[in-house]
């Protein structure tokens, strides 16, 4: 059976859980990651030298880290959650890459300050700067979603929607004054209606 290594409080682990639930694939999950189980041990580092979760071990022993690469692997090996047309496939991969390289880095300081309440993250200018960068990226997503397609790459859910959905869950779950993003809210509600998203978008930790 597929093994998922990573705590469910991790946004990146929840990507895999959601994708596997969409695929109807049974899996076992182990609670690796701080504070539950320190990944800085030889047993874990042999699987992922970055000491980060998630790691996926497929039934045939194939072992992968990097959550978005794992999403692509699951979609390709199971023949689902990626569009068949080249144009839509490119769009899905575009938004998948954007989620990791543009959107997520924007919230770094704000999440430490407002969600995790990490000591030392209390500089009002830095909090405001992070919120401003985060809001600006969310504005890009809002403009795209305002075009009216039900999912980011077309009419069907793809792995890009899973990655974006988790980032949006974090946006709505973090306490600060937010600009109104009606298309994003409608998209988020659509994603939350999917039974397979419950274990991921239903999580209290944004
Ligand atoms: N780029 C990596 C980032 C992974 C990552 O940042 N994982 C965090 C949790 S979200 C982690 O492992 N933190 C250390 C820990 O939990 O012990 C991915 O997308 O898989």
Q: Which ligand 1 atom minimizes the distance to the CA of 39? A: 17
pTM of the model: 0.96
Question: Could you list the residue range(s) of the whole structural domain that residue 133 is in?
Answer: 86-197
Q: Is residue 167 within 6 Å of ligand 1 at its C-beta? A: no
Residues 70 and 96 in one domain: no
How much is the pLDDT for 204? 73
pLDDT of residue 107: 95
Rounded mean pLDDT for each run of 10 residues along the chain, 206 residues in total: 96 97 97 97 98 98 98 97 96 97 96 94 96 98 94 97 97 95 97 95 78
Cα–Cα distance between 79 and 25 in angstroms, integer? 13
Look at the alpha carbons of 72, 74, 161, 163 in this order and tell me if their dihedral is positive or negative: negative
Q: State residue 99 phi and psi, 5-degree precision.
A: -60, -45
If one counts the domains in the chain, the total is: 2
Q: How far is the CA of 5 from the centre of ligand 1 (A)?
A: 11
Q: Is the CB of 67 under 6 A from ligand 1?
A: yes
Same domain, 48 and 91: no
Q: Given this model, what pLDDT does residue 202 score?
A: 86
> Does residue 106 sit in the same domain as residue 185?
yes
Check pocket membership of 11 for ligand 1, CB cut-off 6 A: yes
Residue 67 and residue 90 in one domain = no
36 and 100 part of one domain: no
Given 78, 96, 118, the domain boundary residue is 78
Q: Which atom of ligand 1 is nearest to the CA of 52?
A: 12
186 with 90, same domain: the answer is yes
């Amino acid at each position: 059976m597929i093994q998922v290594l990573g705590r469910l409080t991790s946004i990146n682990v929840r990507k895999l859980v959601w994708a596997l639930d969409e695929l109807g694939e049974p899996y076992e999950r182990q609670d690796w990651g701080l504070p539950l189980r320190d990944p800085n041990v030889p047993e874990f580092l042999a699987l992922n030298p970055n000491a980060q979760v998630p790691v996926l071990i497929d039934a045939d022993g194939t072992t992968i880290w990097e959550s978005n690469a794992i999403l692509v692997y699951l979609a390709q090996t199971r023949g689902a959650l990626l569009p068949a047309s080249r144009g839509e496939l490119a769009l899905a991969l575009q938004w998948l890459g954007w989620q990791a390289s543009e959107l997520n880095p924007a919230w770094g300081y704000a999440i430490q300050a407002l969600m995790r309440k990490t000591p030392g993250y209390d500089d009002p200018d830095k909090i405001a700067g992070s919120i401003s960068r985060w809001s600006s990226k969310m504005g890009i997503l809002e403009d795209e979603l305002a075009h009216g397609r039900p999912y980011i790459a077309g009419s069907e859910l793809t792995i890009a929607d899973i990655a974006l959905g988790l980032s949006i869950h974090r946006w709505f779950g973090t306490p600060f004054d937010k600009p109104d993003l009606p298309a994003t809210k409608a998209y988020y509600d659509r994603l939350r209606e999917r039974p397979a998203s419950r274990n991921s978008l239903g999580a209290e930790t944004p």
